[in-house]
Amino acid sequence: MVALRTAVVGTGFIGRVHARSARLAGARLTGVAGSSPEKGRLAAEELGAERAFASGEELVEAEGVDVVHICTPNHLHEPLALKALAAGKHVVLEKPVALDGDGAGRVAAAAATAGRVVTVPFAYRFHPMVREARARVAAGDLGRLRLLHGGYQQDWLLTPDDVNWRVDAARGGPSRAFADIGSHWCDLVEFVSGCRIARLLARTVTAVPERAAVDSAVAFSAPTGDGGDRRPVDTEDAAFVLFETDGGAAGSMLVSQISAGRKNHLWFELDGEHASAAFDQEQAETLWIGRRDRSETVYRDAAHLAPDAARLSWLPAGHAQGYADCFDLFVADAYAAIGGGAPEGLPRIGDGVRAARITDAVLASARTDAWTEVTP
């Protein structure tokens, strides 16, 4: 089999994860690009890429590249994806795929016109115990779902000295916490439950109204502010959302980047008429099944899991799989789709559009203080 020729634009936290997963999936890392030619050169050296491109724009149109991974700040996703698709590339496009639902729709339309695959790293779908929960819901083990709840909390933007391009609406988009991590929660819960959020009521909170007037290059780094100049913040630190789904289930979530001690606390619980299921991505080896008479903790053990969960369970039971494994499995399936396959549960551009439309509804609801329909 000929190796796919991959290139990665944006080599911060997640760009490095993409580059590693691409290699593990058997691709050649033909090039990388950063925010300047110098940064691209340094990243190419560090990551062992075949070459550095002078810019993302050059990379996405380059000859000899089959698939482009777009891992830049959010405002560049749509323009780079449109250029890449026009140049005939397949795209692995980070979320949010555009700054709003209309932009996401333009990327989806361009993908359809170009006949190219665009996948979106909603990577938490690739935890085997997430697939186990999904299989149990589909098999009717929980009965009709009544309540969907949970949240996603982090603490890396807790203080006024914590800054990142995400804080700035011009680069991150009009929503920060929700678009950044609430989108993962909605994707995951819709994926597992099979329910779709139809309407919602949202509140956004900006608890840190000013932050350090400096730039930090890489996400999840130590505070980069120095207690000096501050600038006003125009994006939310947290969001509360109540929602109703098309199937009649109701739910709630809390999304926050300012919850001290919570590092990457993505969790959900689905309460059905017979049983409940709960998953916590920081304890991803297990799934809790709640019943009135007898609850249980189900461990990841391929021999006893649904086929789709067993497929992703590549290490023996008790040998923990985690976030990096999810990413590797996602990229492997993305490349399988580029090769003409149809892997189960692969998040594609339609899922990116969906997340952007839900984010639009959250912002609209918070602005108007009213229940808001999510554009289907």
Ligand X SMILES: NC(=O)c1ccc[n+]([C@@H]2O[C@H](COP(=O)([O-])OP(=O)(O)OC[C@H]3O[C@@H](n4cnc5c(N)ncnc54)[C@H](O)[C@@H]3O)[C@@H](O)[C@H]2O)c1
Tell me which DSSP letter residue 174 carries. Answer: S
Scanning residues 134 to 153, which ones bind ligand X (CB under 6 A)? none
Binding part of the chain for ligand X, among 8-16, 19-27, 230-238, 304-312 by CB under 6 A, reads 8-16
| 286 Cβ contact list (under 8 Å, min separation 6) | 129, 297, 298, 299, 300
Nearest approach in angstroms of CB 96 to ligand X is 6
Residue 154 within binding range of ligand X, rule CB under 6 A: no
Residue 180 within binding range of ligand X, rule CB under 6 A: yes
Residue 72 within binding range of ligand X, rule CB under 6 A: yes
Length of the chain: 376
x-marked contacts with ligand X along 42-71 as a string, rule CB under 6 A:
--------------x--------------x
Residue 211 within binding range of ligand X, rule CB under 6 A: no
Nearest approach in angstroms of CB 245 to ligand X is 24
| 203 Cβ contact list (under 8 Å, min separation 6) | 239, 240, 241, 366
| 232 Cβ contact list (under 8 Å, min separation 6) | 209, 210
Sign of the four-CA dihedral 153, 155, 156, 160 = positive
Query: Cβ closer to ligand X: 53 or 243?
Result: 53
Figure out which of the listed residues 75, 90, 95, 300 binds ligand X, where binding follows CB under 6 A.
95
Nearest approach in angstroms of CB 49 to ligand X is 14
Residue of closest CB approach to ligand X: 12
Nearest approach in angstroms of CB 70 to ligand X is 8
Residue 351 within binding range of ligand X, rule CB under 6 A: no
Query: Cβ closer to ligand X: 12 or 251?
Result: 12
Measured in degrees and rounded to the nearest 5, phi and psi for residue 256 equal -155, 145
Residue 33 within binding range of ligand X, rule CB under 6 A: yes
Q: Which of 210, 201, 146, 152 lies closest to 181, judged by CA? A: 152
# residues near ligand X by CB under 6 A:
27
Residue 10 within binding range of ligand X, rule CB under 6 A: yes
Figure out which of the listed residues 123, 137, 270, 355 binds ligand X, where binding follows CB under 6 A.
123
CB 145 within 8 A of CB 269: no
Could you identify the residue written with the tokens 């550095």? 52
- In angstroms, the CA 24 to CA 328 distance is 7
Nearest approach in angstroms of CB 123 to ligand X is 5
Residue 9 within binding range of ligand X, rule CB under 6 A: yes
Nearest approach in angstroms of CB 175 to ligand X is 11
Figure out which of the listed residues 6, 15, 237, 331 binds ligand X, where binding follows CB under 6 A.
15
Query: Which two tokens mark 261?
Result: 């001690």
Helix, strand or coil for residue 150? Answer: strand
CB 143 within 8 A of CB 275: yes
Figure out which of the listed residues 94, 187, 271, 308 binds ligand X, where binding follows CB under 6 A.
94
Residue 333 within binding range of ligand X, rule CB under 6 A: no
Angle between helices 13-24 and 323-338 (to 10 degrees): 60
Q: What angle do CA 363, 171, 328 make, to 5 degrees?
A: 90
Query: Which two tokens mark 328?
Result: 């590797």
Q: Give first-to-last CA distance, the chain, whole Å.
A: 39
- Cis before 96 (ω within 30): yes
Helix, strand or coil for residue 191? Answer: helix
Binding part of the chain for ligand X, among 6-14, 102-110, 146-154, 261-269 by CB under 6 A, reads 6-14
Residue 214 within binding range of ligand X, rule CB under 6 A: no
Residue 163 within binding range of ligand X, rule CB under 6 A: no
Q: Which residues bind ligand X (CB under 6 A)?
A: 9-15, 33-35, 39, 56, 71-74, 76, 94-95, 121, 123, 164-165, 180, 217-219
